[in-house]
């Protein structure tokens, strides 16, 4: 709504929106005309997250953790860039809660991709005297091989790798949950 007001009477709205999305400054949600600025997202996970991410025994669950030493410092724009990077992945959509709000927040997102539900979240973890930053990618789905591949070699791995490229001391680990 704000962009439409600011750009009223001007041409090239679609091109401007696409440019802002490509730069990660504007996030296109699942609905065709719904956009949000990542910096304006809530700072905590939305209340509908647990209902949309229930523990299910009929699904395979895998986790891939990207970790680096950061003294708890989150590089400016990292989380927003991570969330925005997935808007360019074919077949990816941001999931919604029962109130039809997109399940995205400043440190994470819940999305559907490649036949799986994927939860991405950045968290600070204390390990001894060190404060480490972790990006945790959880994926659940019926097809065990496909879910594991999504995290280890597929779209989640590729997209997060492009966001985290060049991070000093980056380590990854994978596990079945």
| pLDDT tens for each residue of 90-107 | 999 989 888 888 899 888
Q: How confident is the model at residue 139 (pLDDT cuts 50, 70, 90)?
A: very high
Burial of 128 (0-12, 13-18, 19+ CB in 10 A): exposed
Are 120 and 136 in contact by the 8 Å Cβ rule? The answer is: yes
pLDDT value at position 100?
Answer: 86
The end-to-end CA distance of the chain, in Å, is 41
**Which residue would you say has higher pLDDT here, 36 or 108?**
108
Q: What is the pLDDT of residue 20?
A: 81
Mean pLDDT of the residues in the chain: 83
Confidence band of 163 (pLDDT split at 50, 70, 90)? confident
Task: Count CB neighbours of 17 within 10 A.
Answer: 16
Q: How confident is the model at residue 172 (pLDDT cuts 50, 70, 90)?
A: confident
How far is 79 from 106, CA to CA, in rounded Å?
6
Instruction: Specify the pTM.
Output: 0.81
């Amino acid at each position: 709504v704000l962009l439409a007001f600011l750009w009223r009477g001007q041409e090239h709205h679609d091109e401007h929106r696409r440019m802002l999305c490509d730069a990660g400054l504007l996030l296109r949600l699942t609905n065709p005309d719904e956009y949000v600025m990542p910096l304006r997202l809530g700072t905590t996970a939305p209340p509908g997250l647990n209902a949309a991410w229930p523990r299910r025994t009929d699904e395979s669950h895998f986790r891939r953790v990207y970790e680096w030493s950061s003294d708890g410092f989150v590089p400016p724009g990292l989380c927003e860039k991570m969330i925005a990077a997935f808007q360019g992945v074919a077949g990816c959509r941001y999931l919604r809660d029962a109130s039809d709000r997109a399940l995205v927040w400043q440190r994470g997102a819940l999305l559907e991709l490649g036949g799986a539900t994927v939860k991405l979240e950045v968290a600070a973890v204390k390990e001894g005297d060190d404060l480490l930053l972790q990006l945790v990618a959880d994926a659940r789905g019926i097809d065990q091989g496909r879910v594991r591949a999504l995290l280890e070699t597929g779209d989640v791995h590729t997209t997060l790798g492009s966001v985290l490229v060049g991070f000093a001391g980056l380590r990854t680990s994978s596990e079945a949950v």
